[in-house]
Amino acid sequence: MALPCSRAFSGTAAGARSRPAACARSPQPFCSAPPRRCAPRAAPEDGGEDLSDLLKDLERFQQRSGAAGASAPAGPSRTAAGPAAAARAGGGGAEAGGGAAKELLDKLLIADFFFVVLALAWLAAGLGAQGALHSSALLDAWFPLWPLVFQPAIGVLMLGALVSGGLGWLKEQEEKKGA
């Protein structure tokens, strides 16, 4: 069985002498043969080379991810892409109406969620008042609203969550087909 490199060679005195200190943090998780000698990478004289390489890598990544519809930072390259890229990103055509409807549904669900939380806080306050003060005024006001207001609000919340999730799944499937 192969041991991790740091365990295989750092426990013995002979292993510590034969392995340079820079190799103790070797990226190889396991090794079955004696480790090869490694040396730390020399830093470039000028930090500009690394920066230019990073910028080139970033441009290549944006070109590749732009074809897949991934979001890129806002900038000249994003805005110069034209209306075709905006339509692919969901900003035009028939999807704009569907996106607005989903956004409205999401806002409705957020408001309904906080309404349900408020109703549950009212119920908890009524139960607390009933237990501590022996006063049922909050519960007496809450109970008549349960079947007419709170149960439908909970039902709308559950149904809306299912519809919103289904619309998101359908949109994801359409994006996979288009890509």
User: What is the band of 36 on the pLDDT scale with cuts at 50, 70, 90?
Assistant: low
Burial 32-43 (b: 16+ CB within 10 A, else e): eeebeeeeeeee
From 72-76, 93-97, 104-108, 162-166, the region with the lowest mean pLDDT? 72-76
Burial status of residue 128 (CB atoms within 10 A of its CB: 0-12, 13-18, 19 or more):
exposed
Alpha carbons 39 and 109: distance in angstroms, whole number: 58
Mean pLDDT of the region 64-77: 56
- Do the beta carbons of residue 72 and residue 66 sit within 8 Å? yes
Taking the CA atoms of 71, 72, 73 and 79 in sequence, report the sign of the dihedral they define.
negative
Residue boundaries of the structural domains of the chain: 1-36, 95-178
pLDDT in tens, 108-154: 999 999 999 999 999 999 999 999 999 999 999 999 999 999 999 99
User: What is the band of 89 on the pLDDT scale with cuts at 50, 70, 90?
Assistant: very low
Q: Is the pLDDT of residue 22 over 60?
A: no
The pLDDT score that the predictor gives to residue 151 is 96
- Contacts for 113 with CB less than 8 Å, ≥ 6 apart: 157
Q: Is the pLDDT of residue 39 over 90?
A: no
The pLDDT score that the predictor gives to residue 107 is 93
